[in-house]
Chain A
Amino acid sequence: MTALRAEGVFKVFGRRPNEAVRRLRDGASREDVAGLGTAAVIDTTFEVTPGEIFVVMGLSGSGKSTLIRMLNGLVRPTAGSIILGEHDLAKVSAAELRDIRRKRVSMVFQHFALLPHRSVLDNAAFPLEISGVDKAERRRRAAEALGMVGLDGWEDSLPSQLSGGMRQRVGLARALAADTDVLLMDEAFSALDPLIRSEMQEQLLELQQTLGKTIIFITHDLNEAMHLGDRIAMMRDGRIVQIGTSEQILTEPADEYVATFVADVDRTRVLTAGSVMVRPKAVVFAAAGPHVALRQMRDEQVSAAYVVDRNRKLLGVVRDQDISAAVRLGPVALVDLTRDEVSAVSTDALLAELFAPAAETPLPVPVIDARGRLVGVIPRVTLLDAMTPTTAEVAVVDPATDPSDAYPIAVGPDLDTELDDLRLTTTGDPR
């Protein structure tokens, strides 16, 4: 099912747009057709599924603003079709277009676009006024929308009396009051301070959980795109170069451009534990004895192992020195030696949330699924590795040549196991 579909959409501004489209279809570049017009959007095809946040990400001049304006007919495509429900926005009449805008698709603007002489309530009620909803009803629904964005009590204020973040909340409430399935957000948070911006992002995600709108969000901020987007379309020079989830774009960039772009992203806020975890090496079933556990640790050259039950549910961790001490005193069950102090993380935890658990213990951080089963572990090396972009060269600082450098940038991949080896030797063989 699709909420909105764009097929082979072109937009060329200028004197001879159709000729430009023909040449672009024949493989001409944006520069080749510059004499015929400005090709803002070139051969763009994508689908948006109901209830998803679809982010279009691109720098200025990439055509993203033109693209979003074609999705509600503010700009008519030169070629191609935009299917919204049963309508093709490229073909509808002006009256039909107005009807679609009233019922199907609303918009939030970068600079809020509020009416300065109208109260906050009347601004939020504006779309309903346009649709011909009677006064009492539209004021009630507008007040409800203002409540959703946390602006209760500000109904009678004027927009100029509000801060930027609050004004954009009015813009959001206005779009929500229209109660359309599709919500277009054109750089909606770009004009806000960073702190207010992330606050608004959280609020949008929160609202989206209950409302389940289809949101098409335009931004030039990749971190924002990755944070909000269920899927992201990367735009460059009028074309969509890649569509995918933030993890796909981060880990499998379609081309050099996307790769250099994502190099700066705070990967710890995009990648999840599930995407970087590795297969746990030392895992013992609780039913197995202490000796089995010890042998397994020795085989894997580690000093501790995770203990799981029959369903692979994580029970805790067991250490070699505990086992060796206990078996000297007599037979003992593995469960009694298991410590439950490990802090496991879920598969969808962001890497940023993993630093604290990783710092608490020298062991790899265990990753569990929704049912508490151990599905993988994240050693510290993996965590550090995942933060480095795939394309970037890893700089290696040799401590010998630069003794003043107390923090080598790169660590050897075997550091963890080396430490574990050390511990194994000091503990000695229990038998």
Chain B
Amino acid sequence: MVDSKQQWKAWLYLAPAIVLLLVFTVWPIINTVRMSLLENYSGLQATAGAQFQFGLGNFLKVVRYRQFTQCLKNTCILCFLTVPISTILALLIAVALNSIKFLQKGLQTIFFLPYVTNSIAIGMVFAAMFNIVGSFYGTENELIVTAGIINNVIEFFGGTHINWINYGSSYAANIFVMVVYIVWNALPFKILVLLGGLQGINKQYYEAAKVDGTPRRRVFTKITVPLLSPMLAYVVITGFIGGFKEYTSIVGIFGETMGPPDAAKRLNTMVGFIYDSLSSNSQGRASAAALILFAIILVVTLINNQVSKKRVHY
């Protein structure tokens, strides 16, 4: 314990951090709660001196929006598809990387590239890959020329091209492209964490397993995965938190229309909904949506924690 006479010094040293936290974290959170509880709160009108009633109207409004239901659905679908897929892929890649010596550093760098690349830029590249040139902004009757590399490959093997993201594309195709993109984007961080975890596992466990003639699959499921479980829990929890805040990736591929030209906003997400509310000057509604998103993430994280209590070996 610090001597009580010296305590003011401790507070002095903490002051810069505390002030910044109060201004940029604590106050905004309090303000968000306040705005969400004021009926139809709008920043513009508030500045003009308008008074707002206290109530839960913002929350009701948000929940009743059809757009909100769509956003929630999109977010959940993307989250529950991409987090397991990317975690499993990252685990397999990390284990494979860890077991080779030749080219390990080089491959590690390549796998890490998406992490240091702007996700909008990556999105545009993906959009080009899944593209069918000639109809992106066009109409139904426009001549369609296959140009995206994915469709070229499909046609090379004798398949018919698929309208992934262009005018008239299906919701399933859109979601498929998003899943591929988000998984690819999420891999490097997960590989890095899991590879670090793998390299921290004592090699003698593997030697002991070898002496006992343990088959490879059993070594993986009974030794590697349990010993890696703290890292796995970490990437899954952060993966879900990140997944519920998905937004940039959609913009990266579809632009601000958040969907193909004929179905704008079809792929909008929770964060997208919040931004939309803000841009229409409905801070009350945006705050309510933000708190709902917060509650969802909290519940999912609590569930994750409960599961990991049983499954994770620290």
Partners in one complex: no
